[in-house]
Structures are given as C-alpha cells and as structure tokens.
Amino acid sequence: MLKEFRSPFIFYCDLSNHKEIKETYYPHIKDIFEESKDTKVETWNCEVLTTFNFNVQFFYDDLFQNSVIWQPLDRMLEEVNLCQYPLNSWIHGIWANYYDKGAFQEVHDHVGVNRTHFSGIYIMDQTGENKTSFINNNFGILDQQLHTKDIDDIKEGSVILFPSNLLHYVNPVDDPRCTISFNIMCEF
C-alpha cells in the first residue's frame, strides 16, 4: 500500500497591473542601487545587489502590497491543496534584488530563524529567460529540480509563491534583472 504526502509546490501568476507597478516603483529601486554602493550581504555567497538590510518604505504602500503580495497569495490559497489554511498572514521581510549580467544567488531557503511559512519572488524587470530554479531535496533518493526557464509563462510581471523551506537559487543571468523577494508568516 502506498500513502503519499502532499509535495512542495510553486504557484505563479501574473500581475494584471504589472506595468503600473513597474512604472511607479522601479525608478525608485534603481535610485537606491545607484546611490548606495554597499548593497551586498556579507553572509550570502552570491553576486547580487540587495536592499535586504534596508527599510524601503514604499514596499509598504497599499498599492504595492495588495498587487504584489496579497492578491497573489489569495489566488494561491484558492488553488493549492493545503492541510490547513491561514487564519491571518503578515509580511515578515521584503527586499529588492538586482542582478547584473553574470550575477547569481546561491542555493538557500527562507526559513531562517523566523520560521516563515511562504516566500515569494516578483519579477519586476527581466529580459530573456527566468533563471530561478527550485530543488525538492530528498537526500538524493527522490530529488527533483524545477528550472523556471523551462516554463514560458513565468516571466517579467510574474509572482512566484512557494513554501519557505523549498530550496531555490538563481543561475547566472544573461541580462540585468530586478526581483522583489518577500516572506509571509501565518497564524493557523
């Protein structure tokens, strides 16, 4: 007899107002990266500029949060078959990442010390194929990898949501790329 567990997942959708979000916020994000030369995190083994250690105030605008986080999360919760559904959710970290040609992000998860439940990536600016990959690590027995470059409809304007413990990384990019990453904690 076989009893299967629910497997990790990625959920993705496009923002209907991506053009508005990009036009409103991307110039400010570019300004942050141009004005601040110290946007790397020492403990990360990667070549990415990030606002991880900054408090970027406009990430807390209602337009930004509703479009990039809450509407996609609601869509995910409608489609994904979870064991339990959150009674309440809140943002526990949001930051921008900028990748120049050749930049990458090492394999990591977003569980950390805060035990977040879901994480997300909003692809704000990108030309060419998406370079994010996910790993379902089963210690070599049933390992699975998913390369989003193989999924044509994950592109600029897409939001990807996934359990925070799912390993992921960004392969070296061919062209500059800007993403917004975020973590969501839930009360069940």
- The rounded distance, in Å, linking the Cα atoms of 38 and 51 is 9
CATH number of 62's domain: 2.60.120.620
As for how many domains the chain has, the answer is 1
Q: Structure tokens of 17?
A: 């107002």
Q: Structure tokens of 147?
A: 């390369």
Residue 117's domain spans which residues? 41-187
Q: Per-residue b/e over 51-84, b at no fewer than 16 CB within 10 Å?
A: bbeeebeebeeeebeebbbebbbeebbeebeeee
* Cβ atoms of residues 80 and 10 within 8 Å: no
pTM: 0.93
Output phi, psi for 74, to 5 deg.
Answer: -60, -40
Q: Structure tokens of 102?
A: 């050749």
The answer to whether residue 106 is domain-embedded is yes
Q: What percent of the chain has pLDDT over 70?
A: 93
Supply the pLDDT for residue 43.
85
Give residue 40's pLDDT band: very low, low, confident or very high (50, 70, 90).
confident
The answer to whether residue 8 is domain-embedded is no
The answer to whether residue 9 is domain-embedded is no
Supply the pLDDT for residue 6.
67
